Structure 1
Amino acid sequence: MEAELEAELQKLQAEVTDLEKQLQDQRRVMDFDFRGNLLHTLGVVCSQSAVPMERQMLALRLQEEVDELEEDLKRQTQMNGIRVVSCRRRREEESLEKKAVAERAGGSISAQRVCVSGVCSELSFQVEFKLSELKFGSRTKQTLSDLNIVMEESDLQSFSSFLSRVEESQDLLLFFRTLRTFCERCDERRRTFAHLQTEHPSIVSLPEGQRSEVMTLSLPQLPGCVLLVHWSVQVNKEGGVKSSVELLPKIPENALQLFQSSPVAGAAEAFHSLQRILGVEGALETVVMAMSHDQ
């Protein structure tokens, strides 16, 4: 019986120790994140000895600052199209070697692990990295390392080599810039396909929905004859984003035998010429309109 009680007591002591450690980590994160007026305000509001009137005024001021930050975040989201869903931070100990180097240089070093989840257009992402802060008096230098990026969508094959390069170079800005451009190109494709399908539902269909890379054009009076429009958005290792739109005719073999020469010869090149003159949307609109006149 005594052995069981002793084991239970040790278990409770271990839990208490773990909770105390978590509390210390949270306090360190707050010390790391909150500075200046914000830290002072939180200290006064949480203080038991603060004058009620002073506490109320500072609480109102704190609320104003929070509202301003929320408005700024909203503006940033509208400008860059990236919405942050969550941001988690936890204190992380630097190596003894780095601490010793910083101390010998007359400074100090601290670090935290940051995990940011967000959405750009309809693409979800999660970015995790280590943020180190080196202080020399009033000067502060921050460095980013251990970058890891996860894209939840499994069909983004063009992103794989690019993400590997970003993680290797620790270039987080390049990732967000490329992600935004990629999403803009995909949104352009989605809007164009949706518009054409809405205007010409009897001709245009999207086999995989509005986010599909493929749009099919067909006429009821010509069963089996289909024009496939393949609109891909590719990302290279350097972060360059390129759209490619191809027109691929699909005609049954028995129908091709009715013509002395191939009726689809040069169709792809003719479509490319239309793109150079009218742009992608104009070229697609022209092809669809030409088919609608044959109905």
Structure 2
Amino acid sequence: MDNSICQVYEEIQSLEEEIKLLAEKYEDNQHESTFFSDEEIVMSIKSFQREFQGESPSYLKAELESLEADLSFLTKFTGIQFTSHFKKTVEKTRNRTAQKHRLSGNCHSLSFQLEFQLLEMQNKESVSAVITDLSIIMESGEDSDMSKFVSSTEEHGNLLTFFRSLSSYAEWCEHRRCTFLHFKAKYPDVVTLPEGLLGDYIILRNPKLSGFALTIVWKIHIDEEGRTTPVLDLLTKVPEQVLQQKMATIETAPARFRSMLLLFGIETAIENLIKVVGLEK
């Protein structure tokens, strides 16, 4: 009789241990997830729409359409798309939760990866959240301004500032890329892009005048607080015989170009520069 009781007790203990292990595994799975891309989310929404067509209540279909519209608007407005997201709970108590996050995405032509820890603390009156251990990887080449901004953001852990500034910076990069592409297509014999469409300068050459070149430099400055400013300038390379003939005109070209930028904007200033110096076909 005693042996039977002991055997039953051992079986109960074994079951309790198994239940505990399964509960812990389930808890871990609950706090680990993959963040689907915007395209996958839209496809899922459309799949739900097809599945429930004619069967779901009208309010559900309206809510799905609203979510799809909001997602499309936010992507177009910010240019930011998240391609993956992983999170894991590393600490959880009654008033404190700590999670590690890792996500990646792109903003126009710029890619980024983030890792950080989110600490949430709750009391009777409110819930507060703090970001720590922030690490940012940006594919921005050798841009020293962006490197300083990233370092400042990592130090202060301000993700809102990062995404807001990234959206503005990447939008200017995209605007520059489209502008360079436009002039390269319109004046293929005149416009040269030594660093491609993602470079920060273009060179204008007169096919009929060897050694003559104008370089339009277009930097995008971002300070440590995330303020973004386009900075353009003109550099000249002129043969000696032309320099002697048109010394005054050449010397004032950079200043005139900066004045045109203020008066007409970037695209028109570049267009006028091409026409003024006689580079158009």
TM-score, normalization by structure 2: 0.74
Distance 1:294 1:284 in 2: 12
2:163 aligns with one of 176, 183, 201: 176
The residue aligned with 2:122 is 135
Task: Give unpaired runs (5+ residues) of structure 1.
Answer: 1-17, 31-56, 100-106
Please say if 1:200 is aligned against 2:187. yes
Amino acid at match of 1:119: N
The residue aligned with 2:90 is 92
The residue aligned with 1:271 is 257
Distance 2:32 2:90 in 1: 9
Please say if 1:112 is aligned against 2:110. no
Asked if 2 retains the 8 angstrom alpha-carbon contact of 1:133 and 1:140, the reply is yes
Distance 1:253 1:230 in 2: 23
The residue aligned with 1:245 is 232
Write out per-residue CA displacement over residues 157-192 of structure 1, whole angstroms, 9 at most, x where no aligned residue.
221111111111111111111111111111111111
Distance 2:217 2:146 in 1: 18
Task: Give unpaired runs (5+ residues) of structure 2.
Answer: 1-20, 34-54
The residue aligned with 2:108 is 121
Amino acid at match of 1:93: E
Please say if 1:75 is aligned against 2:78. no
- CA pair 170-72 structure 1, distance change in 2 beyond 3 A: same
Distance 2:197 2:22 in 1: 49
Q: In structure 2, the residue corresponding to 1:265 is in which secondary structure?
A: helix
Across the aligned residues of Structure 1 and Structure 2, the Cα RMSD in angstroms comes to 3.1
Asked if 2 retains the 8 angstrom alpha-carbon contact of 1:159 and 1:235, the reply is yes
Write out per-residue CA displacement over residues 17-38 of structure 1, whole angstroms, 9 at most, x where no aligned residue.
x9996654223457xxxxxxxx
The residue aligned with 2:213 is 226
Distance 1:192 1:248 in 2: 18
How far the C-alpha of 1:135 sits from its partner, in A, is 2.8
Q: Percent identity?
A: 32
Asked if 2 retains the 8 angstrom alpha-carbon contact of 1:203 and 1:292, the reply is no
Asked if 1 retains the 8 angstrom alpha-carbon contact of 2:206 and 2:279, the reply is no
TM-score, normalization by structure 1: 0.70
Amino acid at match of 1:86: S
Distance 2:127 2:280 in 1: 69
Q: In structure 2, the residue corresponding to 1:239 is in which secondary structure?
A: coil
Distance 1:237 1:80 in 2: 20
- CA pair 62-247 structure 1, distance change in 2 beyond 3 A: same
How far the C-alpha of 1:88 sits from its partner, in A, is 0.4
Distance 1:63 1:88 in 2: 29
Amino acid at match of 1:205: T
2:142 aligns with one of 144, 155, 159: 155
Asked if 1 retains the 8 angstrom alpha-carbon contact of 2:190 and 2:279, the reply is no
- CA pair 293-25 structure 1, distance change in 2 beyond 3 A: closer
Distance 1:73 1:294 in 2: 44
- CA pair 129-66 structure 1, distance change in 2 beyond 3 A: farther
Distance 2:147 2:184 in 1: 31
Amino acid at match of 2:165: T
Asked if 1 retains the 8 angstrom alpha-carbon contact of 2:115 and 2:136, the reply is yes
Distance 1:21 1:205 in 2: 61
- CA pair 253-20 structure 1, distance change in 2 beyond 3 A: farther
The number of residue pairs the alignment matches comes to 239
Asked if 1 retains the 8 angstrom alpha-carbon contact of 2:192 and 2:204, the reply is yes
Asked if 1 retains the 8 angstrom alpha-carbon contact of 2:109 and 2:174, the reply is no
Distance 2:133 2:107 in 1: 23
- CA pair 25-211 structure 1, distance change in 2 beyond 3 A: same
Asked if 2 retains the 8 angstrom alpha-carbon contact of 1:116 and 1:127, the reply is yes
